[in-house]
A = this chain, B = another copy of it.
């Protein structure tokens, strides 16, 4: 087990009717900017519930934050924060709205040349405006972590920022929201959180027995609830476990004391930036090919995963590991997710080269748990995914 430092101060309010607690959780007399996305919250009742709970506050609204939160839109919101002298941000949405809100919380206090320098500085954010979230789409875990990924259409970039200043003050997780989520986004949420766990698990044995079991717990629970959620998103038991899995998958706990490998995410972000493919689907396209390409270094953990998560009892380490990879592909397909790049675009023949070139230009220091994968390795993995 590796040394680690871990702190997660976000308060979670989980369950039915928790939105009512907004009034007491937000600091009194705050001037609140309520941020949301394309307006689905106006159809499912969440908008009304939030507005009602905030009736004692001075509230300004900023809607229209798109999936893969776009820098130029966020600049408009930043202007509102400054013009209206906002002192508390409330994200009401999924990972995109929350990530956008985190960027704004940091940008409001940032003193660099332009707000985009926040993304290119690669420095941890230690101080930001206070903010909180009402989660409407379980997937990214952003509601209980300090990371944010922002897209800039102008330059086709998708970059991450984070730091101890970017934890939400609190997050409200009401599983009843799951009932109104479209099938495609349910599938994305399951695939996204499943892959989040894999990125913190599918490396090499490191003696972190409890951490391994926690990771396997999330994977097994996602596998258990996935068909229930896809069939009946109003099933509260399934919805609540799904929602809590998504949060626990990426709130920092699973990665403590273990090696991690975020290569699938790094490559996936490029596919989203290039083709607009849903984030979760880029992970489903790449994950198993990443494991096939790095089979020798990952086979022990792949076999453990096959045994403990998929109940594979027979075969050698290699055989079990291969079954584990196949099960992963099957799982994504069971969610209705296509797992080949060519299922999403006809314009893929140069994707491997483009991704490799982008990593090279950005001075990528090495992907994978051993930090030894080169841009050329990424090219090959992407090409295996055509």
Residues of A within 8 A of B (CB): 1-18, 170, 175, 207-211, 213-214, 216-218, 220-221, 224-225, 236-237, 240-241, 244-245, 248, 256-257
Contacts and interface: CB of A to CB of B under 8 A. Distances in A.
Given A7-B9, A7-B10, A12-B6, A1 B209 contact: no
Contacts of A4: 12, 14-15
Q: What is the copy number of this chain in the assembly?
A: 2
Contacts of A9: 7-9
Given A3-B16, A5-B13, A209-B224, 11 more contacts: A1-B240, A1-B244, A4-B12, A4-B14, A209-B221, A209-B225, A209-B237, A209-B241, A210-B244, A213-B217, A214-B217
A7 B1 contact: no
Nearest to A222: B210
Nearest to A245: B210
Contact of A214 (B2, B7, B214): B214
Given A1-B241, A207-B241, A244-B1, A14 B221 contact: no
Contacts of A221: 209-210, 213
A141 to B, nearest CB: 13
A8 B6 CA distance: 11
A202 to B, nearest CB: 18
B14 A241 contact: no
Contact of A207 (B16, B214, B240): B240
A218 B175 CA distance: 26
A17 to B, nearest CB: 8
Contacts of A14: 1, 3-6, 256-257
Nearest to A249: B210
Nearest to A174: B3
A12 to B, nearest CB: 5
A49 B26 CA distance: 42
A272 to B, nearest CB: 28
